[in-house]
A and B are shown apart, each in its own frame.
Chain A
């Protein structure tokens, strides 16, 4: 036992000295803290009462994209003196129950995603019956108005897919692989269908299990090995782009990898040319605008969009714009 203690002591002392001696003058936690300190000194910019807004999304646990949406919503909430609540569940029934819970709490406004519109119809109607204004974000632009929401903020997935198809044409591609990482997501189907609509070449769909990265990589790899004529791989989420790049190099394929959505890694890989282009739907704006528009409605009765969805995308991002975005993706707002 005594010997064991000595070893532990040596190990701890060693670890401490290595840490102290090996300080990095770049990056890391310290740089992040400095950036945060320089960012908004959170204080409300308005003198309206402290309203409570609840946001309920169909996100799973720990999703990069929804983190960015949240950071937009939270910053708008600070500015507008809002108590902001966030909850999520990827099961439609559970998501509907969370909306019910927000209505029970008598919040002053609700922001909801309609990825599974039928499941949320009753819950949204109940919110409106209780006199709570609802804004839909991200998915459900077709149903938003019918459900009686004030506005829909998001990207039309079909239009975004079409933009990708156009860009692929510009780059002279002939055969694209569309990688769907969530079986059962209507928005994902629309994206791939949009690509198919405008792309002059052929599009093949590949379904992968998005919750299991090694599985995603091996599936793409197998496909690229089996079909050497594929010259473009389109992934539908930022985390999958890097995986597709690995799969491509392992399979010895020459295909260009392009992706929907952004994250820090994608921005870096756009910059160094590993990725062709990304199409961004600016999630930060979806969160920020949703909170801000609810505030404007409560304060001034304003509604944006004139009954049409307010689009936050698509925005095609290539090597040229990537450099400027790197800083924003680092801090988790792009």
Chain B
């Protein structure tokens, strides 16, 4: 990550009209200032603090097996938090992301089962269907000009109904039938849900998917033209359109990115459990958004990072599993989560203010 925070489309405060001596783009900034202007700084500090708390409070928390469980929990959130963070940098929401994961798993499982096809066929069909739903979200948004909150709320409700309706219609029950005895299942499980043993500790393959996605998203954001477009449409849509950024294409692409993440998560669900509950996934979309926001994404768009979303997801995993390891009362988990969200966001806000004031 050798990125400069300068490439983000920052908002200029009007009282900043001091006399500029030289072109500000050529100014040398100190390394510390560079660090302070990173969007994920607040969440990194938060994650270290939470980690320290549980390292002291929970015996057995520092065992490699426990840390592997925490990483796995984080990765299941993180895989979705990455594309959701990109979407939020692009200035939009996706409330259908949680149930889309379940839809993706259901399509894959039921297609393979009903067609008696190799499970990889189901996986492929599921990718197409999921991407189509993502494209639908983006297309509706750019066509109707309605806020994404409304569009994806509609999709969310429709998908929730379709998940249950189709599953009951096709399978006659509320969960899919097992596909563990079908051809292609072992290889698909190896790809989406295997466990790798490194030095005697079991790590889930989702952790690799997660890190891969973070790297890919960071590269897109910071090293490609598409990344500039994402920052531009999130920062100021009309200005971006005026300078020739393909706004509609960028937004549809971002929604398809979320769909791609949902497809990976969905296949992981399916191949680790080999049957899928149709009613699940509701509410997770908010968790992905929380992870992205804790990681420094602005709700208003134009600012954030993929690494930040990963740290946000890690914070979530640390808290949810740390409370168990520390033997605290789980009734308070949501309270801690809310407090953490507020603290991380305040910290981000404060750091950004400082970074901008001292430029």
Which A residues are closer than 8 A to B by beta carbons? 61-62, 85-88, 91-94, 96-98, 100-106, 116, 118-119, 121-122, 182-186, 189
Q: Considering the chains assembled together, what is the distance between the CA atoms of A222 and B277 in angstroms?
A: 29
**In the complex, residue of chain A having the shortest beta-carbon distance to the beta carbon of B324:** A101
* Cross-interface CB contact of A86 among B65, B278, B330, cutoff 8 Å: B330
B174 contacts A106, C-beta separation under 8 Å: no
**In the complex, residue of chain A having the shortest beta-carbon distance to the beta carbon of B67:** A104
Which of B16-24, B79-87, B267-275, B291-299 contacts its partner? Answer: B267-275
Q: Considering the chains assembled together, what is the distance between the CA atoms of A86 and B278 in angstroms?
A: 26
Distance (whole angstroms) from the CB of A61 to the closest CB of chain B: 7
Query: Which residues of chain B from 270 to 310 have any CB-CB distance to chain A below 8 Å in the complex?
Result: 272-275, 277-281, 284
Distance (whole angstroms) from the CB of A244 to the closest CB of chain B: 22
Q: Considering the chains assembled together, what is the distance between the CA atoms of A100 and B72 in angstroms?
A: 10
Q: Is residue B325 contacting chain A, with contact meaning CB distance below 8 A?
A: yes
**In the complex, residue of chain A having the shortest beta-carbon distance to the beta carbon of B172:** A189
* Cross-interface CB contact of B178 among A105, A106, A118, A122, cutoff 8 Å: A118
**In the complex, residue of chain A having the shortest beta-carbon distance to the beta carbon of B60:** A105
A189 contacts B174, C-beta separation under 8 Å: yes
Distance (whole angstroms) from the CB of A96 to the closest CB of chain B: 8
B325 contacts A184, C-beta separation under 8 Å: no
B174 contacts A186, C-beta separation under 8 Å: yes
A116 contacts B327, C-beta separation under 8 Å: no
Q: Considering the chains assembled together, what is the distance between the CA atoms of A103 and B164 in angstroms?
A: 33
B324 contacts A119, C-beta separation under 8 Å: no
B66 contacts A105, C-beta separation under 8 Å: yes
16 contacts between A and B (CB under 8 A): A61-B334, A91-B281, A96-B273, A97-B321, A101-B66, A101-B321, A101-B324, A101-B325, A104-B65, A118-B175, A118-B178, A122-B273, A183-B278, A184-B277, A184-B278, A185-B174
Q: Considering the chains assembled together, what is the distance between the CA atoms of A92 and B327 in angstroms?
A: 21
Grouping DSSP codes into helix (H, G, I), strand (E, B) and loop, the B interface class, with mixed when no group exceeds half, is helix
Chain B residues near A62: list those with CB within 8 A.
331
Interface size on B, residues (CB 8 A): 32
Q: Is residue B236 contacting chain A, with contact meaning CB distance below 8 A?
A: no
Q: Is residue B319 contacting chain A, with contact meaning CB distance below 8 A?
A: no
Chain B residues near A119: list those with CB within 8 A.
272-273, 275, 277
B60 contacts A104, C-beta separation under 8 Å: yes
Distance (whole angstroms) from the CB of A14 to the closest CB of chain B: 32
B273 contacts A121, C-beta separation under 8 Å: yes
Chain B residues near A101: list those with CB within 8 A.
66, 69, 321, 324-325
Distance (whole angstroms) from the CB of B172 to the closest CB of chain A: 10
* Cross-interface CB contact of A98 among B76, B175, B324, cutoff 8 Å: B324
A116 contacts B175, C-beta separation under 8 Å: yes
A61 contacts B60, C-beta separation under 8 Å: no
Chain A residues near B284: list those with CB within 8 A.
91
Closest CB pairs A-B (n = 3): A184-B279, A118-B275, A104-B66
Chain B residues near A122: list those with CB within 8 A.
272-273
**In the complex, residue of chain A having the shortest beta-carbon distance to the beta carbon of B174:** A184
